[in-house]
Structure 1
Amino acid sequence: MCDMEVERVVGGLCAGQKLERDRAVADLNLKVKTYSPELVQSLHTAILDILTDSTSPWESKHGGLLGMRAMMMVSTADPESPMLAEIRQAALRLLTHQEVRVRGAAGEVLGALCQQDGGATYTTSSSTVLQLIRSNLEREVTDDEASRSEHENTRILMEKLSAGTRERRNSGDAAQIFHDTAGWRNLETSMKCLEHMIIGTGHKFLSFINQELLDLIFQALTHTNRFVRETGFSVCGALVSCGAEEGAELLESNPMFTFGDQLTQHLGKGLADNWSQVRLASSVATRKFLISLPSAARERFYPTLLPRLCLNRYYVAEGVRLYSQETWRQVTGAEGKTLVEKYIDSVVSYYIEATGADNHAVREAACACIAELALKLTTDAVRQHVPRLLHALTVCFTDDSWPVRDVTSSPPSAACVACGNFILCFPEEALGSMEELYPLFFTNLEDNIPSVRQGAAVAIANVVRAYGKDSLPLVVERLHGGLKGIEEQPSESERYGSLEGGLSTYGVVKRKRDNDMDLHSNKQMYSCGSLAPKMGRGGGGCSDCRFRRPPQLWERADGCIYLAGELAGVPEAAAEVTACLPTMAEAVRHKHYTSHVTLLETLCKTLPHLARGLSKRVFKTHLHLFLDSIFYALECENALTSSAASQCLSQLAQLLGPNILRGRVEEHNPSYLRALDANAFTGPL
């Protein structure tokens, strides 16, 4: 009966299909506790025979290792047992197996053995594992079966790629490719093996931590390969977790505290890594590191870690952002604001450094954090740093990456909006920068990106709130100037020449532009976004924005409509906004260019804000100026514009009263009543 069960279990573990092996491992996990010692011994012997047989396929070795790990997790064998020594030696040999899944499973078995014997396996195996890591970090080609096989495969691939090119058909090229691509083939799995052994040993691993081990791990944290760095921070996470079980009274002897300064420097670099996966792995290790220390001991490491944790709460990658927010709650509790104020010098220095990062996502997060300083901290804590922060945000005005200038998060992350917040909170300190900031605000007000224009309107409104009538004449002049002259906006046929066969529809214009070779040849190419270049880093102003086309007249008017909506809520500007309503109504009546629907969409979104800001009494006297445009937008084929008009009518009905709105529409044009009633019954899209 025992032999039959052994044959059944081993047969499942050695199956050629992964699904069958997984089922066998799951079944073994359920039943191994019920097995007799004799049956467990027989299974150990049978699996060891497979692991030591050089002719057995990798699938059998993989399943055998997984089965061995399942038995190790519930085994109570003597740590000095010869059987465990044989398992240890088999797993060590398989760490250099050609198949990555076998190498990974071998590391898991060694980790299970460490859990079984309290670290004795690490004592006897560490030299082998660490040498594997060291040789791969130093890009040494090891003389094992897997390396020889991979080198031969690389040579064959090189011959195929260089077919027809005699100069490249030589072993030197193949060796170079092998050196560049396969030099750290075993590194990731060897690092994972070390991680499993650390986790298995638990807090007893503290006695094994020394400078030599840390130097080796730190070398992986600075590796050129991002996957190696990610794995290195996972090992760091396991390493710092060892100190979590140590009491506060043992703090001085805790290696996590002894080597804490070195760990902090590397964790800080990981928290600022350009690759999100590495940044997340470092975030995990950082949380474990800080949680493992008593609250009083953490403050020693806050100047380096706190600013980076704080910035990552706004990082674009959702995993990093959410994990960092939870880390912030766990580590700082209700003292987050107080800690930022306490370490404000380090926080400000890192934020300013981050505004110059190569990664646009970091620059975007830095702008969000700088805006947060003005909104949430006490003015006395930030006041002395306002000039430096304003200068950093001014540089970000000319960033090539529009999300850095955008206003799409909460709180707003745009450099422009952040500047507006600073001016509102610190008007006296910012007064000396206004000569430089006004042109930048107005440039963003006519930016190619709609949300950037909206952010500029928010910022300029804050400027008016801060300086009142001193700033109002300049802003009103720009408001009226942007709304006038829209009739001179070129149509697409004027911009691209005569178009074959008729009207300048959007599709025809787009095809003509797509086929314009000058627009798509010999241009800078970017990756998915991690390292998009920065623009205007020298503070040269808007002239450095080489990748922005000149603004269109309709875009300038669009920004001014946003601005009017924001200024309507500023008491000092209400009269000036009211005076510009006829000019605004005239601007949206021009429909000779394709993008007029976008301008109408902005108008429909803004009118309810205007009504609330100016008061119902004032707005009702000017409502008739916009009714034609609203109902034209409602019947428009553009879904976004039509939906905006529908919502505009619904909001105006709630604000003014449905009967008042209906009466004004009927007085202006009774033919609009049918569309108004239909919108009231169907509701906004």
Structure 2
Amino acid sequence: MDFSTIDRALTSLSRRQPPLPEPVLAVSQSLLALLSTNNETHNHLAESREYAHGILKLIELGSSKAGSGDESSAVRWEPLAVGLRLTVDYLEKRTSELPTSTSTASNNQDDDDEDEGTGLGTGGGGVYAEGPRIPKIADLQINGTSSSSASVSEKVSSPPKANSPVFELLLALPEIINNDVEHSEPRVRSLVAQTVGAYALYSSSLLNYQLDIIINNDQDEDPQLKQTIQTAQQGRASIHNAILSSLQSHLQMREPSRDNNPSKASDGALDDTTGWRALETNLHALASFIDGCVGKGVVEFDGEDEGGSNVSYSGSYMLEEERLFSNEDEENRWFLTGLQHCCVLHVNRHVRAASAAVLGVLVKSCMRCRSSHGKDGNYHENLLVEDDSPFRLTLKESLRATLQDNWSQVRMAGSVLCRRFVTALLKIYISHNHNGEEEDEELTVFELAAGDLVQMLLPRMCLNRFYLAQGVKLYSQDTWKIIFGSSHNAAEGEEGLHSSGKSKGGGGMGAVARNAAPLCRYYSKMCDADNHAVREAGCQGIAELAQKVGKHPLYADYLSPYVTMLLQALLMCFHDESWPVRDEACLACGTFCIAYPEECTPELNTLFERWTEQLTDQIWSVREDAAVALGDSVVAYGQDMFEKVLGVVRKQLPAAKDQPAMSREEYKKLQNDVSAHTGNQVYSCGSLAPKLRKGGAGRIGCSSCLVDRPKAPWEATDGCVYLIRELCVRFPDKEDTEREDVVLGDDILLPIMTELADVCRLSHYPQSDDLRTTLWRQLPSMAQAMGKKRFKGKYLDLFVELLAKNIDDRYSVASQLSIHAAGQCAEELANLIGYGIFRGRLAAVGGEDAFDRVMDDRKREQQMAHVAANGGRFLGAAKEFSPFGPPPVTA
């Protein structure tokens, strides 16, 4: 089924197998004809009673025996789903046609500026309910009005009429929703939630319209319209009660046991990965209802009081004061208790994410109600800011759990809730301190506004900026920018800690430094988490602390007492079976040695042992980063460490000579051995197979490292290539060295480079091409660091013959990666030394023709890239377009 548009939803009914009954197909064709006629004649469907009746007929056919008279035929859910989808679209359009003075957006001056939409169709900002993706943040409010409302204001608006077909639909919907809120088909339940939101939004807009008439003392008010609007409010109250009743009954159901890890038991694993009855969609329906009510929820109806007594500024009456603070009736407080249970303890991830969405719209509703009259506004504000408020306590515990949930989907929902809650606190604080009242200039506005929540929120917000899931990471980085501002010094694609002179309290870096204790404890705990992605993010966060806080002249002392604790956490990660975790731990330790050399000295021997182990790892990026960390250690500890590193280079550089001989054919045969790949365990992200483990204990990850090949001798040589590059780049001569007492002179470097050239000439093993690929990728950096004169005079001749041979692969012996890397290296060296000089050196060994071919090929590649980037004359592309989608349409 395709629910993306109403036309596609209707069309998909005719394609269902087995075919749907004839009455269903006839109604769908009739509705398609009405839609086609409406598009051609530009008529509105608002007054088309046939269209509204057709929607109700579809819903009826999906709720009975399809009207066929055959009692044995099964009820098909597809007509009901399509009917609900048409209902959502119909109510949205009717809402947009109401007078602009009753527009829900225009009546919410205190709404969230960062209002995320998710395509639920409620039109009131949306509920984050459709999976782990970044919510829309493009429709930001401009001068108090969102872009979506601005587009609505351009449409012709008209007051509702008492005999409009929409009211027939509103009259029938409460019973339909009440019957199908626990439907067995999840897609129907999801559409019921969307219908609830659309119903609540339209009925709330009608209520605004009626209140405007009362305020303006309009004597021409239609009594029949007034009664119809009041009936719609009764229906809204009925829907709210039905949802809450269903929600309460599902919360009372027994969950499977969660002893230790739920995935260890089949029942726990099943309930942890599939939809859990109707509880999830009940939560989404409630969230959609509250969001659609735009700050006005129905408590009870009294038609004698001009329609005013049916208005509650709670959004959901479960937030009323007598329900939250009553000590006599425990049953009245089940709502927040149930939501907290769903967020923190429920076995099902979908339920945990949905309950976070409900809390998010409740925060949004409280912010909408701040502008109401008298005590109502103060009451809802206090729900968010008072330390002992039950709602704030529920938010605190829910954020504590969801922001560190093992599932990215739940972590994303928690991140959305976190942004909404924190921005609400900031707005409240600023609104009370905008008159220049005395403030603590040593703290950021976030610290002042969040109060006791800072030590819980800040570590989780920091770590999620490094989380593996791109949605969580990018959204959390945007949240950081919203709270603390952008960093002009941050690297492209990375929004790290920063200290802006315009930022009060030192910005994000100042906040992190002042809260170093809880942050370091949390990072250390996450380095031992069950999830390998969390451990990796923890190592990255620790590295950021060392890089930015540790090197800051004002804040370095804040982190100093916790260096030992952080180092112990990182040393633990060196034994991780997940290589990205080992990689990040390796880099972080090197950064700490530069920032805090004295504090790291007691662990230096252990660190050096771990770094040299990583230098021979099976993963090339781990080897490279181990070389970077060893270079950091030389910067931190000087000549003594330099001598130790040189000893490692001299010892391990010739290791490739010990690589067992093997032909390329034998290697391919080994890789394609059918018996070696038959009957083994299949692993995937959703499997119940053994996972990545931390230090031998059971952990949760995406694959298994239980089967691990031994390290190969050539990999030690490959790691030394990276290490030689680090030494050349960091300590080339006395003028450019990163440490005055360390210089890599020719007396040391020339024998090493000679040995490197000799060992790279070996070809008795198939991985020799990989080693040469590493050499060609690193050699230009070494040459650039040594300088043109020095490299050309003493080192170029060592590699020129091998380079020419690799470029001119006449017999297709070398791999394409090594050939390409050799060509790239030749181009860069020619640019450094001079094209003519370099070509002359190659001519001496017979490589000038191959060099010319390579340079011609690269020239053509650059020309094509230039064409694509400047007009796209041949590709028809715009100057800039995303590689993940089609180029934008140009005028």
Q: TM-score, normalised by structure 2?
A: 0.62
Are 1:97 and 2:183 matched, yes or no?
yes
* Match in the other structure for 1:208: 318
Instruction: State the AA in 2 paired with 1:467.
Output: Y
Counterpart-to-counterpart distance in 1, 2:768 and 2:58: 75
Deviation larger for 658-667 or 461-470: 658-667
Are 1:453 and 2:586 matched, yes or no?
no
* Match in the other structure for 2:422: 290
8 Å contact from structure 1 (residues 226, 275) kept in 2: yes
Kindly report which structure 2 residues correspond to 1:239-318, keeping only aligned pairs within 5 A, or say none. 239-247=362-370, 250=377, 253-254=380-381, 255-257=383-385, 258=389, 259-294=391-426, 296=429, 297-318=449-470
Q: Report the secondary structure of 2:847's partner residue.
A: helix
Counterpart-to-counterpart distance in 2, 1:290 and 1:177: 34
Q: Report the secondary structure of 1:568's partner residue.
A: helix
Deviation larger for 382-391 or 629-638: 629-638
Deviation larger for 587-596 or 49-58: 49-58
Cα offset for 1:237? 2.3
8 Å contact from structure 1 (residues 445, 559) kept in 2: yes
- Where does the alignment leave 5 or more consecutive residues of structure 2 unmatched? 1-9, 14-22, 68-75, 96-159, 205-232, 256-266, 297-314, 325-332, 430-448, 487-506, 698-704, 732-741, 862-891
* Match in the other structure for 1:411: none
Counterpart-to-counterpart distance in 2, 1:292 and 1:29: 43
Match of 1:672 among 831, 834, 847: 847
8 Å contact from structure 1 (residues 491, 593) kept in 2: yes
Counterpart-to-counterpart distance in 1, 2:716 and 2:839: 33
What are the superposed Cα offsets for residues 436-490 of structure 1, whole Å, 9 maximum, x if unpaired?
1011000000000011000001110111111110111111111011112432211
Q: Report the secondary structure of 2:294's partner residue.
A: helix
* Match in the other structure for 1:133: 247
What are the superposed Cα offsets for residues 182-203 of structure 1, whole Å, 9 maximum, x if unpaired?
9932222222211111111222
What are the superposed Cα offsets for residues 170-217 of structure 1, whole Å, 9 maximum, x if unpaired?
xxxxx9999999993222222221111111122231543244211122
* Match in the other structure for 1:650: 827
8 Å contact from structure 1 (residues 567, 577) kept in 2: no
Are 1:508 and 2:669 matched, yes or no?
yes
* Match in the other structure for 1:623: 796
Counterpart-to-counterpart distance in 1, 2:416 and 2:782: 47
8 Å contact from structure 1 (residues 137, 184) kept in 2: no
* Match in the other structure for 2:533: 361
Cα offset for 1:651? 0.8
Counterpart-to-counterpart distance in 1, 2:353 and 2:27: 27
Kindly report which structure 2 residues correspond to 1:148-163, keeping only aligned pairs within 5 A, or say none. none
Instruction: State the AA in 2 paired with 1:561.
Output: V
8 Å contact from structure 2 (residues 272, 348) kept in 1: no
Counterpart-to-counterpart distance in 1, 2:295 and 2:726: 59
Match of 2:570 among 390, 393, 399: 393
Deviation larger for 325-334 or 587-596: 325-334
* Match in the other structure for 1:232: 355
Counterpart-to-counterpart distance in 2, 1:189 and 1:578: 70
Q: Percent identity?
A: 31
Are 1:343 and 2:515 matched, yes or no?
yes
Instruction: Give the superposed CA RMSD.
Output: 3.9
Counterpart-to-counterpart distance in 2, 1:548 and 1:289: 46
Q: Report the secondary structure of 1:203's partner residue.
A: coil
Counterpart-to-counterpart distance in 1, 2:392 and 2:832: 60
Instruction: State the AA in 1 paired with 2:421.
Output: F
Are 1:612 and 2:698 matched, yes or no?
no
Counterpart-to-counterpart distance in 2, 1:28 and 1:190: 37
11 and 579 in structure 1: CA distance in 2 versus 1, 3 angstrom threshold: closer
8 Å contact from structure 2 (residues 24, 61) kept in 1: no
Instruction: State the AA in 2 paired with 1:107.
Output: A
8 Å contact from structure 1 (residues 16, 59) kept in 2: no
* Match in the other structure for 1:166: none
8 Å contact from structure 1 (residues 25, 67) kept in 2: no
83 and 550 in structure 1: CA distance in 2 versus 1, 3 angstrom threshold: closer
223 and 589 in structure 1: CA distance in 2 versus 1, 3 angstrom threshold: same
- Where does the alignment leave 5 or more consecutive residues of structure 1 unmatched? 1-9, 142-174, 407-413, 494-502, 539-544
251 and 453 in structure 1: CA distance in 2 versus 1, 3 angstrom threshold: farther
230 and 438 in structure 1: CA distance in 2 versus 1, 3 angstrom threshold: same
What are the superposed Cα offsets for residues 537-578 of structure 1, whole Å, 9 maximum, x if unpaired?
79xxxxxx9764432211001100110001112322412334
Cα offset for 1:269? 1.4
Instruction: State the AA in 1 paired with 2:691.
Output: A
8 Å contact from structure 1 (residues 358, 533) kept in 2: no
Q: Report the secondary structure of 2:485's partner residue.
A: helix
136 and 486 in structure 1: CA distance in 2 versus 1, 3 angstrom threshold: same
Deviation larger for 14-23 or 122-131: 14-23
208 and 477 in structure 1: CA distance in 2 versus 1, 3 angstrom threshold: same
Cα offset for 1:109? 3.3
Counterpart-to-counterpart distance in 1, 2:801 and 2:340: 68
Are 1:465 and 2:617 matched, yes or no?
no
8 Å contact from structure 2 (residues 526, 534) kept in 1: yes
Counterpart-to-counterpart distance in 1, 2:624 and 2:464: 25
Kindly report which structure 2 residues correspond to 1:543-558, keeping only aligned pairs within 5 A, or say none. 548-558=708-718
Kindly report which structure 2 residues correspond to 1:491-570, keeping only aligned pairs within 5 A, or say none. 491-492=661-662, 504-512=665-673, 515-516=675-676, 527=685, 532-536=691-695, 548-570=708-730
Q: Report the secondary structure of 1:534's partner residue.
A: coil
* Match in the other structure for 1:383: 560
Deviation larger for 64-73 or 86-95: 64-73
Q: Report the secondary structure of 1:202's partner residue.
A: coil
8 Å contact from structure 1 (residues 561, 603) kept in 2: yes
* Match in the other structure for 1:157: none
Are 1:325 and 2:448 matched, yes or no?
no
Counterpart-to-counterpart distance in 1, 2:458 and 2:464: 10
* Match in the other structure for 2:201: 115
8 Å contact from structure 1 (residues 316, 361) kept in 2: yes
8 Å contact from structure 1 (residues 616, 656) kept in 2: yes
8 Å contact from structure 2 (residues 63, 77) kept in 1: no
373 and 673 in structure 1: CA distance in 2 versus 1, 3 angstrom threshold: same
Q: Report the secondary structure of 1:471's partner residue.
A: helix
Counterpart-to-counterpart distance in 1, 2:579 and 2:510: 33
666 and 219 in structure 1: CA distance in 2 versus 1, 3 angstrom threshold: same
Counterpart-to-counterpart distance in 2, 1:86 and 1:122: 12
Are 1:416 and 2:502 matched, yes or no?
no
* Match in the other structure for 2:858: 683
Kindly report which structure 2 residues correspond to 1:468-483, keeping only aligned pairs within 5 A, or say none. 468-483=638-653
Deviation larger for 175-184 or 573-582: 175-184
Cα offset for 1:32? 9.0
Cα offset for 1:532? 3.3
Counterpart-to-counterpart distance in 1, 2:26 and 2:535: 48
673 and 86 in structure 1: CA distance in 2 versus 1, 3 angstrom threshold: closer
* Match in the other structure for 1:632: 805
Q: TM-score, normalised by structure 1?
A: 0.80
**Across the two proteins, how many residue pairs are aligned to each other?**
615
Q: Report the secondary structure of 1:683's partner residue.
A: helix
Are 1:659 and 2:836 matched, yes or no?
yes
Counterpart-to-counterpart distance in 2, 1:476 and 1:178: 55
8 Å contact from structure 1 (residues 12, 24) kept in 2: no
